[in-house]
Structure 1
Amino acid sequence: MSRSTRLLALALLAPAACGRAPAPAEGRVEFDLRHTKQAGGQAVARWSGDAVTAEELARRFEEMSPALRERYVAPQARREYVESMARFDLLVRDAVARGLHEDPEVVEATRRALVNRLMRAQLEEAPATVTDAEVAEAYAARRDDFVRPEAARVSHVFLAAPRSDAVKAASARQRAEDLLVRARALPPGDFAGFGQLAREHSEEPRTAPLDGDLRFLTDEALAKTYGPEVAAAVRELTTDGALSGVVRTDAGFHVLKLRTRRAALNLSLDDVREELRVRLEGEKRSRAWAGYLARLEKQLSLAVDPDALARVPLDVGAPMRKPSGPLPGTVPAP
């Protein structure tokens, strides 16, 4: 049998990516697609240059679930299974004979499969042992993720009016009452409508551009930042979308709308030990993958020419052209 009928040659950079020297035809690597890569074994189905052996078939059956194996107890079903395996390889052989192994789509799919398999191998081989001390250290460093008080996310419209300015306070209160009427006319879940009121009327420069959103704040943080009156009013809001009345503080008047509440957390180290261990193992493997890529780039002298890159034309307004081939692969995230 000729070498060309049993070997698939693809234009790939895989030898370099694996740290080996390129094949004589630079940038090409050969794959042996036969079932019987080694001599020996009893053939149960045979075709030109290849076969399915009894040993391979027995291994395939062992890899099946018991329920699936039952399908192939009958001789006819077993024969159909073997014939299907053989016909699949006949199709592969014919595809190679037609030159489809050099089709850009096939080449790119093979390149992606190689990179994905290489990544799995690297991540599986990466040392990822996590000690109890490391878990405890991570828990201490990320304690806020596991232990935190209840918090509320509130939006507000604020009108500035210090208590010392009675005239301004009277005007601001009336405006706040009018805004409260408009807010109550909105459906409880209409946070966009309330946000528009905040953008147009709130005099709090930090939150007005954010639709009046205060983000998540604890009761203590609300009292410290906006006054105990605001914290007390928020405690009275029990359902998402609920509105306060006009709330007076030393700085002015607030109309408050509860977006949602976040429950308190109090998870001990034992509660999250396994979660943290898995997370730390993943982080170690990600660092190992980044180190591997850095070593590979250095080994193969990866370089980017910023001047040449900047000269590549890129017209965001140009019409889209018909693709000339599959998109090139990029390194997937680990």
Structure 2
Amino acid sequence: MRRIALVLAVTAAAACSKGDKNGGPIVAKGDGISVTADAFKKKLDEQSPFIRARYSALERKKEFLENLIRFELLAREAQAKGLDKDPEVQETLKKIMVQKLVRQAFDSEAGKPADDEARKYYDEHLDEFVKPERARVSAVIFAAPAGSPDRAAKAGQAKNALARLKVEGPKNPLAFSNLARELSDDPVTKAAGGDLGYRTKEELSAQHSPELANAAFALREVGQESGVVETPRGFAILKLGARQAPIDRPFDEVKAQIAARIGRESRTKEFDSYVKGLREKASIEIFDAELEKIAITGAPPPGASDAMAVPAAALAPARH
């Protein structure tokens, strides 16, 4: 951390020293060091408005100036001791230069998309911004297509199951899912306790029937159960697990968000292309044989089980 501070100090000192000619009046000077009015103001402007307000009086300004002078003196001493040539300092300086290069090249307003481009994105991704209501419903299904000889028997089974549910339900919160696992004729949802997942009314209608979809969306309270629902495919008993309110975000509400997203994607592509061009210009060559010889401290030996390896994602810093 000490060396990182020093490289920043050297950079700041060089900036202040170069301001003598065009930085306005000199507010402090010494042997090889000078602080101009513009340099002083620039450093002060970097502080928060609350901090800046403390430095209106002359004595306070002198206090801030003393800090700048101390900074300059330390930076000069670090440079005199050759710390600007230190490998760690050089590496830190290189990182700062790369960050500044990237900001200059890609953090501009030039890539801001026009409204029509943002509108096109909105129209092409409408399902992200406009979503109908969805419900998560569980069902005990008794399959008996209309006209089948066992339809009456299945209707009786459904009524008996509902009566059983009314007795067992108040005592056991798992009564419905247990009943679905035991009695449901739907092999897809039977093992999941009858869970149909989150579905829109249209999806339920297409996957099962309009009658089942209407009955499902007629349930208003979470945990509410239906009576026996008759459909062309048979009979069902439903239970509402959850609801998701509809989303309807008009274009004007999300235009700024879309513009930012398009801008990020555009800058990423430009950056990748930029780096690719630099790589091609530098004729980069990778020597796999030598790379393979590099031993990684703490790594399992070659051929060890992958189960012993730590996923790279687990080592990456968390994103918030």
1:235 maps to which residue?
217
Matched, 1:261 2:244: yes
CA distance, structure 2, for counterparts of residue 59 and residue 308 of structure 1: 49
Which ranges in structure 1 are unaligned for 5 or more consecutive residues? 1-6, 10-29, 188-192, 321-327
More deviation in 167-176 or 34-43?
167-176
CA distance, structure 1, for counterparts of residue 257 and residue 91 of structure 2: 37
1:26 maps to which residue?
none
**TM-score computed with the length of structure 1 as normaliser:** 0.63
Matched, 1:44 2:48: no
1:224 maps to which residue?
206
Selected match of 1:117 from 89, 96, 100: 100
CA contact (8 A) 1:234 1:258 kept: no
Equivalences for residues 243-282 of structure 1 within 5 A: 243-249=225-231, 250-263=233-246, 265=248, 267=250, 269-270=251-252, 272-282=254-264
Aligned residue type for 1:230: L
CA distance, structure 2, for counterparts of residue 304 and residue 225 of structure 1: 54
Aligned residue type for 1:221: E
Aligned residue type for 2:126: R
**TM-score computed with the length of structure 2 as normaliser:** 0.65
CA contact (8 A) 2:158 2:228 kept: no
Matched, 1:299 2:281: yes
Please give the secondary structure, in 1, of the residue aligned with 2:17: coil
1:290 maps to which residue?
272
Selected match of 1:57 from 31, 34, 40: 40
Equivalences for residues 134-153 of structure 1 within 5 A: 134-148=117-131, 150-153=132-135
More deviation in 114-123 or 223-232?
114-123
Mark the CA change 1:264 to 1:64 in structure 2 (over 3 Å): closer, same or farther. Answer: closer
2:114 maps to which residue?
131
Matched, 1:81 2:79: no
Please give the secondary structure, in 1, of the residue aligned with 2:134: strand
Aligned residue type for 1:253: A
2:3 maps to which residue?
none
CA contact (8 A) 1:160 1:253 kept: yes
More deviation in 43-52 or 204-213?
204-213
CA contact (8 A) 2:136 2:241 kept: yes
1:71 maps to which residue?
54
Mark the CA change 1:182 to 1:215 in structure 2 (over 3 Å): closer, same or farther. Answer: same
Aligned residue type for 2:201: D
CA contact (8 A) 2:205 2:211 kept: yes
CA contact (8 A) 2:229 2:237 kept: yes
CA contact (8 A) 1:153 1:213 kept: no
| Identical pairs, percent | 25
CA contact (8 A) 2:133 2:246 kept: yes
Q: C-alpha displacement at 1:124, in angstroms?
A: 2.3
Mark the CA change 1:258 to 1:266 in structure 2 (over 3 Å): closer, same or farther. Answer: same
Aligned residue type for 2:55: Y
CA distance, structure 1, for counterparts of residue 276 and residue 109 of structure 2: 15
CA RMSD of aligned residues (A): 4.7
Q: C-alpha displacement at 1:81, in angstroms?
A: 0.8
Mark the CA change 1:291 to 1:118 in structure 2 (over 3 Å): closer, same or farther. Answer: same
Mark the CA change 1:298 to 1:319 in structure 2 (over 3 Å): closer, same or farther. Answer: closer
Q: C-alpha displacement at 1:82, in angstroms?
A: 0.8
CA contact (8 A) 1:152 1:260 kept: yes
1:15 maps to which residue?
none
Mark the CA change 1:89 to 1:195 in structure 2 (over 3 Å): closer, same or farther. Answer: farther
CA contact (8 A) 1:198 1:208 kept: no
CA distance, structure 2, for counterparts of residue 217 and residue 43 of structure 1: 71
Mark the CA change 1:137 to 1:309 in structure 2 (over 3 Å): closer, same or farther. Answer: same
Please give the secondary structure, in 2, of the residue aligned with 1:130: coil
CA contact (8 A) 1:36 1:51 kept: yes
Q: How many residues are aligned here? A: 290
Mark the CA change 1:198 to 1:45 in structure 2 (over 3 Å): closer, same or farther. Answer: farther
